[in-house]
Amino acid sequence: MLIVDAHLDLAMNALQWNRDLLASAYTIRAQENYTPGKGRGVGTVAFPEMRRGRIALSFATVIARSTGRPVPHVDFASSAQAHGLGRGQLAYYEGLERQGHVRLIHDASQLDRHMREWASWDGQHQSDGQAPPTALPLGLVLSMEGADPILDPAELEDWWRQGLRIIGLSHYGPGRYAGGTGTEHGVSDIGVRLLVEMARLNIILDLTHCSDEAFWQALEQFPGHVLASHNNARALVPHQRQFSDDQIRAIAARGGVIGAAMDCWMIAPGWRHGDDNRAVTLDLAVRHIDHICQLLGSARHIGIGSDLDGGYGREGSPYDLDTIADLQKIAALLTQRGYSAVDIAAIMHGNWWSLLRSAWSQ
């Protein structure tokens, strides 16, 4: 079955972590065997595994924070540095497209052609275990995780021309545009101006990582389409990073979709990086999907937003997930819970496809 994954930090892994994603995840692991640090030598995401897992489309991020709390590889000392990293990540995606490895999706007609091409291939090879041919590019929708790389809202149209279609205002900490995870800050004055420009350009708002204050303020002030690319349920894992039932209902009321994330600490309450992950399985991640479906009475507002290799690897992912190709196991787990084939297809890819078509058909 085809998968749309709404959150992959591909450029960060390629540029800040110096991984050649054209090589397999196993080759990258071998290359990093003696590289110290969390997530090194245990990566799960690379293009061959994305192909084997039928990840037809993903939301590929631009990420570079500037919060005043520098962290190697992701949080920089000045907004100009974050800007430079963000532009460099765009250039990386453009380079991949020029080489034919990916296809940057900008509008509804491109989206439909791409997904139908993949669906046609998948319909012919559902049971033979083959990976799509390299002539079938991976589809990417460009998304920004935390808006810090944007120096000023006045330049947003230039980012849009380069393909940016989704923006989250914040990440961890006090972002320039809004308070992020671990803060109680709302949307800043410059953030309000950014939301106005996003609405004008029909850029989708990703509410992931917003503080509770910023979440409700942004939802009130932004009239356009919204989503949550990688969020789980606070009812199951009580942490500000997750969304409450009220927040989940609010996203659904706006026609949004929430992507279930595969970080162990977002799946199992009390789990922290460094803990043994053998008890954290994909079925526990599916509990979050099921919670959202039961809460809303529908499977139309949930999808996958794995966040795999978002600064961690196998050690921070479900134990029964070796590479991103194992996201295919989610379909069988949903079947075991009694979900219909139609609802499973919606969760695996259809809901994200529909949201993008709706947003881009205006």
176-197 tens-digit pLDDT: 999 999 999 999 999 999 999 9
259-300 tens-digit pLDDT: 999 999 999 999 999 999 999 999 999 999 999 999 999 999
pLDDT at residue number 329: 98
d(CA 64, CA 42) in angstroms, rounded, equals 23
Start-to-end C-alpha separation, the chain: 29
pLDDT at residue number 82: 96
Q: Which helix (H) or strand (E) holds 226?
A: strand 226-227
Nearest-10 Cα torsion for 325, 347, 143, 226: -170
> What region does 290 belong to: left with phi over 0, alpha with psi -120 to 50, or beta?
alpha
pLDDT at residue number 132: 87
d(CA 337, CA 243) in angstroms, rounded, equals 23
d(CA 103, CA 97) in angstroms, rounded, equals 6
Contact 188, 220 (CB under 8 A): no
pLDDT at residue number 69: 86
d(CA 183, CA 194) in angstroms, rounded, equals 20
pLDDT at residue number 72: 85
- 210 - beta bridge partners? 180
Question: Would you tell me how many other CB atoms lie within 10 Å of the CB of residue 116?
Answer: 10
Residues whose CB falls within 8 Å of the CB of residue 338, separated by 6 or more in sequence, listed in order: none
pLDDT in tens, the chain (362 residues): 999 999 999 999 999 999 999 999 999 999 999 999 899 999 999 999 999 999 999 999 999 999 988 888 899 999 999 999 999 999 999 999 999 999 999 999 999 999 999 999 998 887 777 888 888 999 999 999 999 999 999 999 999 999 999 999 999 999 999 999 999 999 999 999 999 999 999 999 999 999 999 999 999 999 999 999 999 999 999 999 999 999 999 999 999 999 999 999 999 999 999 999 999 999 999 999 999 999 999 999 999 999 999 999 999 999 999 999 999 999 999 999 999 999 999 999 999 999 999 999 96
Amino acid at 274: G
DSSP assignments along 122-185, one per residue: HHHSTTS-PPPPTTSPEEEEEEEESSTT-S-GGGHHHHHHTTEEEEES--BSB-SSBBBBT---
Per CATH, which fold does 3-360 belong to?
TIM Barrel (3.20.20)
In the numeric block, which tokens belong to residue 129?
């275990």
